[in-house]
Amino acid sequence: MKRIYLDHAATTPVAKEVLAAMLPYFSEKYGNANSLHAYGREAKQALEKSRETIAGSINALPEEIIFTSGGTESDNIAIKELFFTNREKNHIITSKIEHDAVLNTCKFLENMGAKVTYLDVDKYSIINLDQLKNAITEKTLLVSIMHANNEIGTVQDIEKIGKICRERNVIFHTDAVQSYCKERIDVKKQNIDMMSLSAHKIYGPKGVGALYVGKGIKKKIGTFLHGGGHEFGLRSGTENIAGIVGFAKAVEIAQRDFEKNNKKMRTLRDELIKGVLKIPETFLNGHPAKRLSNNANFIFKYVEGEGIVMKLDDKGVAASTGSACSSKSLKPSHVLLALGLKPEDAHGSLRLTLGKDNTKKEIDHVLAVLSKAVEELRKASPFWRK
Ligand SMILES: *Cc1c(COP(=O)(O)O)cnc(C)c1O
């Protein structure tokens, strides 16, 4: 049987249409977007058209989109540059379940004088809005709360979070890398000041992303990369035109197929969840309803998540224990610990994330392989009694 990929939260393949859109920008239309000649103008035009596409998809203005090298960089720019440029306020509020790009940036800033509040989440991993309100002081500069979690797929009510921030005159940043093109995003309606996006999670190329910075916030953000003044002086460096064109193409396709893809993934996800929960002493992590269309994350008592991932890999099924970044370390996931799981249970987690091209047949196959894998591993566990 062909290999089955169920790790779309880690990355996705570049769509064929995306690759086709990118190819001319390597060896034919290779101009530098800052050159005055025809080559340069051609590149500039592609750059600005891509900016319009991405802006349009989130109800932003083109000049509010800054191209970056990906989600990690966007998170870094948003948090660091806001902090370094507005030293009169030093308090940042975030949550315990953020991506490492946000958490480790906040930890770094703590060494630079920032005070950081890490909000708790409930057992379904939802932020408590009253706790957020109570945490805001006159020193609070920024609230950074992710839209959807990369490990367990929980979707936060960012519109309400944004509204609280607006009312208290605090800037709101959200990491929307996982939710982009899976949840509807409208930066105006949802009161978002800054937002991180990445291309490779939506069938675009790796190494490209964007940071949305609302018009009124832009002057509060300092220069991240000093140089020739590209990207409105915030992030210098010759633009990655092929990557940016690919990113915009991926967005165009994802917006066009939004309903179709998400409906399909949601149906398969529900079948997957239903099937997996038939395995004894198995639990779903995250919120039962407020979760991404493609995410399923489980705890299998008495087995290690790594063990399951290896066994699935042997059978040609690609899965993950948590986030791709933390799966190499043997520390239990900070997200699962924040939900209140015991460390030994947090070790037994498995993340399966669907893509638009997965099929019912694949899901049926995975269910069979998975229940066998769990059974075998449990037989070898001293804690498991049949
Ligand atoms: C993947 C991911 C990132 C990092 O994006 P890169 O483009 O890989 O740097 C950041 N945040 C979340 C929630 C992610 O899932």
Tell me the C-alpha distance between 65 and 59, whole Å: 11
With the most atoms of ligand 1 within 8 angstroms of its CB, the residue from 14, 147, 150 to mutate is: 150
Tell me the C-alpha distance between 103 and 110, whole Å: 11
- On the 0-12 / 13-18 / 19+ scale of CB atoms within 10 A, 162 is buried
Query: Ligand 1 mean position to 4 CA, how many Å?
Result: 22
Residue 325 annotated in active site: yes
Atom of ligand 1 nearest to the CA of 323: 15
What Rg value do the Cα atoms of the chain yield, rounded? 21
Asked whether the beta carbons of 145 and 127 are under 8 A apart, the reply is yes
Query: Ligand 1 mean position to 303 CA, how many Å?
Result: 28
Mean pLDDT, the chain, rounded, equals 95
Query: Ligand 1 mean position to 71 CA, how many Å?
Result: 4
Q: What is the model's pLDDT at position 346? A: 87
Tell me the C-alpha distance between 316 and 344, whole Å: 27
Whether 326 shows a pLDDT value over 60: the answer reads no
* pLDDT tens for each residue of 281-293: 999 999 999 999 9
Atom of ligand 1 nearest to the CA of 98: 13
Whether 82 shows a pLDDT value over 70: the answer reads yes
Helices H / strands E in the chain, number of each: 14, 12
342 alpha-carbon distance from chain centroid: 25
Q: How confident is the model at residue 383 (pLDDT cuts 50, 70, 90)?
A: confident
Region 360-365: mean pLDDT is 98
* pLDDT tens for each residue of 10-35: 999 999 999 999 999 999 999 999 99
Helices (H), 33-92: 38-57, 71-76, 82-85
Query: Ligand 1 mean position to 209 CA, how many Å?
Result: 9
Region 202-216: mean pLDDT is 97
Q: What is the model's pLDDT at position 224? A: 96
Whether 329 shows a pLDDT value over 90: the answer reads no
Q: What is the model's pLDDT at position 88? A: 96
* pLDDT tens for each residue of 149-188: 999 999 999 999 999 999 999 999 999 999 999 999 999 9
More confident residue, 384 or 163: 163
Atom of ligand 1 nearest to the CA of 200: 7
With the most atoms of ligand 1 within 8 angstroms of its CB, the residue from 7, 68, 177 to mutate is: 177
First and final C-alpha spacing in the chain: 31
Report residues whose beta carbon is within 6 angstroms of any ligand 1 atom.
70-72, 99, 101, 146, 150, 175, 177-178, 198, 200-201, 209
Cα torsion at 40, 44, 47, 49 (round to 10°)?
A: -140
